[in-house]
Chains A and B, each alone.
Chain A
Amino acid sequence: MFHTRYTICMITIDRLIFSYPRSNFDLKIERLEVNSGCATAIVGPSGSGKTTLLHLIAGILAPNSGAICVEDSVLSSLSDADRRRFRLQNIGMIFQDFELIEYLNVIDNVLLPCRIGNVVELSAATKQRAEELLTQVGLKQHLRKSVTRLSQGERQRVAICRAMLASPAILLADEPTGNLDPVTSDQILNLLLTSVQEHNATLVMVTHDHSLLHRFDQTVDFAQFLIPAMELTGHAPGESA
């Protein structure tokens, strides 16, 4: 059983089939629901499609068939441009390898979504928010520092701030603690969970660290999706505390 704090379904995946061109990889999900305000962990072996799922939810990839609904929007039926706009407006992404822009300093990396899209205005208030976010994660002293001079943990925090800048409804995190030591890993997870709680956001996080699963509302085990022709009905098979 998994615990949910909200009854509204934030993300619904129905009869999803996705495959990469010229690849044997197939991702098939009969049905998966993530409730609003939930912190969901996705676990599974490497190559099972966890990152692909995040990219599908974010609209970076489009499914071959099936539907991905996020709140009221059927993401899978939107055009690439509309998905991009939707992503800027509603989704914050934290990548496994942070994906910070090396030629930008800390605050400019956080403000990058404002510069590349017209969804969030690059105003004084936005800059102030970016500074506040960075201050919250203990990077106040490093606002103008090049991201190449930061430690792994500091970079991860910058990536989190960038994802949180527009106060997105959904936060997708791809193994944000994968490269970190246990202490830093714990700090990062605390930060993420606190942030989503504060902003009433939905967190979907890919992780290999099973010791962290008890801190999530819901766990989805991707190993089950690897079983051919397995049909999933109802809620996702993972259990959470």
Chain B
Amino acid sequence: MNINSAVYLATRSLWWFRGRATTIVLCLTLTLWLPVTMRLLLNQFRAEIVKRADATPLIIGSRGSQIDLALHALYFDSVSPENTTMTEAGYIQNSGFATAIPVHIAYRTQSVNNVDGVPIVGTTVEYFEFRNLSLQSGDGLTTLGDCVLGSNVARNMRLAPGDRILSAPKNAFNLAGDYPLRMNIVGVLAPAHSPDDDAVFVDIKTAWIIDGIGHGHQDLTTENVDQDMLLHKSDTSVTASAAVLPYTEITPDNVGSFHFHGDESTFPVSAIIAVPQSRRDQTLLLGRYASERSEVAQCVKPSKVVQDLLNIVFRVERLIWISSLLSAVVTALLLSLVLFLSIRLRESEMRTMHKLGCSRFTIITLVGTETAIMSLAGLSLAVFAAWATHALAADWLRSLIF
């Protein structure tokens, strides 16, 4: 029997028993698709995670968990490490080894259009340059109270430049604490396919205002101020009563009244991204934080922290592979049983073939060709389905990661 005849007879048979053949092909497809897709998605997951970490040379923050610090600074993770201060930013800048980009992520926005609040990232303009973030619409941050939305935030919350968004206070019952600040949306960032798409960016001073470190209120030094608002007034100082409410929105009229109490170097930042000029500077800065600054802060290499974290997380991958292997073995056994039973059901056909002069080898060739066609179809479908899943689920996966 030549191969053309074998394929012809096999395809006729498969078409005739198409219900059974389709079931076998689908079983094969699912068995192969699951591990292949898992592999592709896990690889993508790893690449996405590592990519951002690799692009960030150093992160400086308060002493404590390196993982918390790295995840917070890189992915705006909700687990906040202890704050460090602007002193560290000044130290890095003055050392001349690196450019310091402070990042303060302490608050989230309120939910808008049934979309949960997103992190508010207080930073400086250097951050946008460092992350290659560009504006899709509107303008950049120019004044206090301005904010720029990540692309996903703008799309999901259906917001655009000219709209406003409120910060969410950490504690609604703390009247002396932070107040919600109504921020002006001045721009929307172009998609970056990173956590930046899911954050709202403000100037770091605006972040401090949300944090309650800076505020604005009516002028209490004028003569015609309501005396109920004052607890004490002297030539050098004024102590306001609780009747004085801080502004919850920064407008051109009241922006002048916003001020900060205390020394800016003591103001909090979640982390500082340090961008060294060279590898030598990076090593020197790491050395500084391993020695003279080790008591007050830590400097971590995000790529190493994330890789260590992934090594732990991806040990689970082995379990996935083992379970996939087991399910493949079970499926193979079941398919063998199905094939065996179907051959038994077709015993009379095989007997007829033999009576007509068909050799045992030819019958095996026929059954083998049918099995090969079904296997090939299952494999092709699995590869196509894995590719389609990978292509279509990429955005969904990214949303899961970030």
Contact = CB atoms under 8 A, between A and B. Distances in A.
Interface of A: 55, 58, 60, 81, 84-85, 87-88, 93, 95, 99-104, 108, 112-119, 122, 162
Contact of B357 (A87, A99, A102): A87
A60 B5 contact: no
B352 A99 contact: yes
Nearest to B2: A118
Contact of A103 (B1, B16, B355): B16
A119 B362 CA distance: 14
Contact of B5 (A93, A103, A122): A122
B12 interface: yes
A167 B227 CA distance: 124
A113 B86 CA distance: 90
Contacts of A60: 354-355
A95 B356 CA distance: 10
A99 B355 CA distance: 10
20 contacts: A81-B359, A85-B357, A88-B357, A93-B355, A99-B348, A99-B352, A99-B355, A101-B353, A103-B12, A103-B16, A112-B356, A113-B357, A115-B1, A115-B8, A116-B5, A116-B357, A116-B358, A117-B357, A117-B362, A119-B357
Interface string B15-50: 111000000000000000000000000000000000
A127 B15 CA distance: 22
Contact of A116 (B1, B12, B15, B17): B1
A128 to B, nearest CB: 18
A161 B16 CA distance: 23
Contacts of A117: 1, 356-358, 362
Given A115-B1, A117-B1, A101 B352 contact: yes
Contacts of A99: 348, 351-352, 355
A118 B357 contact: no
Contact of A104 (B12, B351, B354): B12
B397 interface: no
B18 to A, nearest CB: 10
Contacts of B17: 103
Nearest to B5: A115
A102 B348 CA distance: 11
Interface residues of B, number: 22
B19 to A, nearest CB: 13
A87 B354 CA distance: 10
Given A99-B348, A103-B13, A116-B353, 6 more contacts: A84-B357, A102-B16, A102-B349, A114-B5, A116-B1, A116-B356
A57 B353 CA distance: 17
B17 to A, nearest CB: 7
A136 B348 CA distance: 29
A88 B355 CA distance: 9
Nearest to A166: B357
B385 interface: no
Contacts of B1: 115-118
A59 to B, nearest CB: 9
Given A118-B1, A122-B5, A113 B12 contact: no
A115 B357 contact: no
Nearest to A81: B359
A103 B15 contact: yes
Closest 3 CB pairs of A and B: A103-B16, A88-B357, A115-B5
B258 to A, nearest CB: 84
B9 to A, nearest CB: 6
Contacts of A100: 352
B325 to A, nearest CB: 35
A162 B349 CA distance: 15
Contacts of A118: 1-2
B217 to A, nearest CB: 88
A122 B362 CA distance: 16
A115 B9 contact: yes
Contact of A84 (B5, B13, B15, B359): B359
Contacts of A114: 5
Nearest to B359: A84
Contacts of A55: 355
Nearest to B16: A103
Interface centre among A60, A88, A103 (most CB of B within 10 A): A103
A105 to B, nearest CB: 8
Contacts of B8: 115
Nearest to B11: A103
Contacts of A112: 356
Contacts of B358: 84, 116-117
Nearest to A101: B349
A165 to B, nearest CB: 11
Nearest to A103: B16
Nearest to A108: B12
Interface centre among B1, B351, B352 (most CB of A within 10 A): B352
Nearest to A148: B16
Nearest to B349: A101
Contacts of B359: 81, 84
A116 B359 CA distance: 8
Contacts of B12: 103-104, 108
A235 B353 CA distance: 33
B359 to A, nearest CB: 6
Contacts of A115: 1, 5, 8-9
A202 B20 CA distance: 43
B356 A113 contact: yes
A130 to B, nearest CB: 15
Contact of B356 (A93, A108, A122): A93
A6 B40 CA distance: 77
A88 B356 CA distance: 7
